[in-house]
Amino acid sequence: MEDALAVRRVDRLGVVLVAGGALAMAWAPFIIVKANRIAAGKPQLLTQLIAQPAAVVLLILLTAAALAALFLRNQIIRLGIATLAIAALILTLGFVSTAATPAGSTVARITPGGSFWVLLAVVGLMISDALVKLRLTPWLRVAALALYAALLAVVLRSGLLDNLSIMKEYANNADKFWHEALSHVFLSIGSVAIAIVLALPLGIFCYWQPRIRAVVLRALSLVQTIPSLALFGILMLPLGYIAANVPFAAEIGVKGIGVAPALVALVIYSLLPIVANTVVGLAGVDPSVRDSAAGMGLTRRQILTGIDLPLAFPVILTGIRIVLVQAIGLVTVAALIGGGGFGLFIFQGIGQTANDLVLLGAVPTVFLAFSSAVILDAVIDSIRGQRA
C-alpha cells in the first residue's frame, strides 16, 4: 500500500502540465456564450462557473490530477485520476453549456473556450504518459483507445452536449457529415492502398539497383517539397485534358476537379515513405540469412517472398503508418478542388467566419489520424514482439 501511494521528487513533465493548465484556467475562458454563430460572444472563466456543482467537482478532480502529476509514482492511480478528470471536464462542459443557453433560444451558441482545450490536452497528455509508463501490450493500447472512444460516444448519444455550438453545427449537417466522413476515409485508405501496390515493387527494384535508387528517391523527395494545394492545381490541367479528349474518361470520374486529382496527388505524396522504408527494411535483413537460404537452393524470388519481405515487414509497415496519417491530414485540403472529406466543413467555416463549423471538420480529422497511428503502432509492435 505504501508503494502504491509513494511520492517522489517533483515530476518535470508534471510541472509543465500543471503550469500550463493553471495559466489557462486563470487567463482563458472555459466557455464563450454567443448570441449567434458569428457573434463575438461573452467569455466565462471556469472560476466564474463555481456556482454549478459540476464545476466544483471538476476543480476538485483537476486539483487531484495536478497533485498526482507532480508527486504520485503509481501509474495506475495516475491513470485513474486523469481519466476521472477528463470525464468530469467533458461532462462539466455539457452541464454549463446547458445552463448558459438562453431559454427558448435556437440561435445562441456556446463554444468551448481556450482553457477547456488546454485542460483537455493537459489531462490527455497525462493519460498518455501513464499508459506509456505502464508498458501495456500493443492490443491493450488499442483496447484502451476503444474504451475511451466508446465512453465519448455514450456521452455524445446521451444529448448532454447538444447545446454546444459544434453539436448544433453537426445537427444542421448530420447527413452531409457522414457522407463526407465516408469520402474522407475512402480517399485516405484508397490512396494508401494504391500507393502500396505501386511503391512496394518500386522499393524492391530500388534495393536491387543502387544506381536507380538514388535517382528515384531524389525525384520522390522533390515531389514532397511541392505544396499540396499547388500539386492539386498542377494535376487539374492534364486530368481535365484527359476528361475532354479520352473516351469514357469523364464517365468513370476522371476530371480536372473532384476526386481524381485528389486521389492522384495523395498517391504521389504517399510513394516516398513506402519506397524508402522498403529499401531500408530489405537492407536491414541479415545477409547470412540470405546466404543460408541460397545454400539450401532457394531462388531469388523465394528468398524475397519467404525471407526478405517478412523480415522487412515491420519497417515497411512503419512507412505505411506515416503515409496513412499524412493522407488523413492532406485529404482536408482536397476539399478545395471538390474532393470532399472533412475539409469541406473547415473551409466552409473559414468562409462563413464560423469557428464551430471549422471544428466540426477538424476534430474528427484529428481523431482519425490519432486512432490510425495507435492501431498501426500496435500492429508493428505486435509483429516485432512475436519475433523478439
Distance between CA atoms of residues 311 and 378, nearest Å: 17
Give the mean pLDDT of 124-138. 92
- Within-domain flag for 145: no
Q: Distance between CA atoms of 14 and 37, rounded to whole angstroms?
A: 37
Residues 66 and 214 in one domain: no
Q: Are residues 205 and 268 in the same domain?
A: yes
Task: Say which residue the cell 493522407 belongs to.
Answer: 327
6 phi and psi, to 5 degrees? -65, 145
Which residue is associated with the grid cell 488499442?
Answer: 142
Residue 250 has pLDDT above 50, yes or no: yes
Q: Which domain holds residue 72?
A: 12-135
Cell numbers given for 152 = 465519448
Q: Is pLDDT above 50 for 308? A: yes
Q: Establish if 305 belongs to a structural domain.
A: yes
Same domain, 337 and 219: yes
Percent of the chain with pLDDT over 70: 97
Residues 348 and 240 in one domain: yes
Asked, for residue 185, whether it belongs to a domain, the answer is yes
Which of 112, 135, 158 corresponds to the end of one domain?
135
Whether 194 is covered by a domain: the verdict is: yes
* Amino acid 4: pLDDT: 47
* Strand extents, DSSP E, the chain: 31-34, 42-44, 109-112
Output the pLDDT for position 2.
Answer: 47
Which residues are 33's β-sheet partners?
42, 110
Report the percent of the chain where pLDDT is more than 90: 60
Q: What pLDDT shows up at residue 324?
A: 95
Question: What strands lie across the sheet with 31-34, from one edge to the other?
Answer: 42-44, 31-34, 109-112
What is residue 36's predicted lDDT score, i.e. its pLDDT? 81
Neighbouring residues of 151: CB distance < 8 A, sequence distance ≥ 6? 87
Q: Are residues 239 and 362 in the same domain?
A: yes
- The per-residue pLDDT for 342 is 94
**Residue 358 belongs to a domain:** yes
The reply to whether 76 and 195 lie within a common domain is no
Question: Residue 69: inside a domain, yes or no?
Answer: yes
Question: Residues 89, 92, 96, CA angle at the centre, nearest 5°?
Answer: 140
* pLDDT given at position 39: 78
Q: What is the CA radius of gyration of the chain?
A: 25
The predicted model gives 140-146 an average pLDDT of: 93
Q: Examine the domain organization and report whether 178 and 130 are in the same domain.
A: no
pLDDT at 232: 80
- CATH code of the domain in which 261 resides: 1.10.3720.10
For the cut 50, the answer to whether the pLDDT of residue 214 exceeds it is yes
Residue in this structure with the C-alpha cell 528515384, named with its chain if needed: 216
**pLDDT by residue (tens digit) across 149-178?**
999 999 999 999 999 999 999 999 999 999
| Mean pLDDT in residue range 357-374 | 94
Question: How many other C-beta atoms can be found within 10 angstroms of the C-beta atom of residue 345?
Answer: 28
* Residue 341 in this model has a pLDDT that exceeds 80: yes
Q: Are residues 215 and 343 in the same domain?
A: yes
Enter the pTM of the model. 0.86
Task: With a cut of 80, say whether residue 298 has pLDDT above it.
Answer: yes
Q: Final residue of a domain: which of 135, 164, 196? A: 135
Q: Answer yes or no: are the C-beta atoms of 307 and 293 closer than 8 Å.
A: yes
Query: Looking at the 3D structure of the chain, how many domains does it have?
Result: 2
106 with 204, same domain? no
- Cell numbers given for 229: 494545394
